[in-house]
Amino acid sequence: MADDSGTKSMSIIVTKGSLDWAYPPMILSTTAAAMGLNVTLFFTFYGLTLLLKDPDLKMSPLGNPAMKMPMMGGHMGMPNFMSMIPGVDAGASAMMKDMMKKKGVASFAELRSLALESEVRMIACQMTMDLFEYTTDDMIPGIEIGGAATYIEVATQSDINLFI
């Protein structure tokens, strides 16, 4: 939140929990914190799973025509029907994680712990926790539980508000 010292601030509503969508909020929040901003993340709906102790992040080529993986010197997309075959989504997720490792991209777990370390405030949506039957025991320590009003208060005091 903005304060008297002129410190800038940013908030992000995190609504998605797949491997690819997990990155933007973590990259932006850790970088903003490193640049001296106060950062708050509000995790709701599928974004909430990013706060689980051991999230098994996956992605799917289903309905994602832009997902083209580098292959044999070119880039290859995957037809939608492929996603129905057992193991294809898991394979695509493993391939993405492997590619990230090779290219020096941080793992999600690493970015999340860097975010916590740099005091990024993480708020889990109470309603989503009730809806999907999660308890604080399922979540990593160091987070807060809150609702829409908690987020709106933060947003009114933030210089940057994003929805991802």
Partner 1 sequence: MADQTLDAKGLNCPLPILKAKKALTPMPAGSTLEVLATDPGAVKDFAAFSRTTGHELIEQSVDGNVYRFVLRRKA
Q: What does the binding site for partner 1 look like in residue numbers (CB under 8 A)?
A: 27, 30-31, 34-36, 103-106, 114, 118
- Residue with smaller CB distance to partner 1, 57 or 115: 115
At its nearest, how many Å lie between partner 1 and the CB of residue 142? 18
At its nearest, how many Å lie between partner 1 and the CB of residue 110? 8
Q: For residue 56, with 0-12 CB atoms within 10 Å meaning exposed, 13-18 middle and 19 or more buried, which class applies?
A: exposed
Work out the angle at residue 123's Cα, subtended by the Cα atoms of residues 157 and 55, and round it to the nearest 5 degrees. 140
At its nearest, how many Å lie between partner 1 and the CB of residue 44? 24
Pick from 108, 12, 15, 103: which is nearest to 58 by CA?
108
**Contact assessment for residue 14 and residue 164, using Cβ atoms and an 8 Å cutoff:** yes
Backbone angles phi, psi at 11, to 5 degrees: -130, 150
At its nearest, how many Å lie between partner 1 and the CB of residue 111? 8
- Residue with smaller CB distance to partner 1, 53 or 103: 103
As a dihedral over the C-alpha atoms of residue 29, residue 30, residue 36, residue 39, rounded to 10 degrees, the angle is 30
- Residue with smaller CB distance to partner 1, 6 or 63: 6
- Residue with smaller CB distance to partner 1, 36 or 87: 36
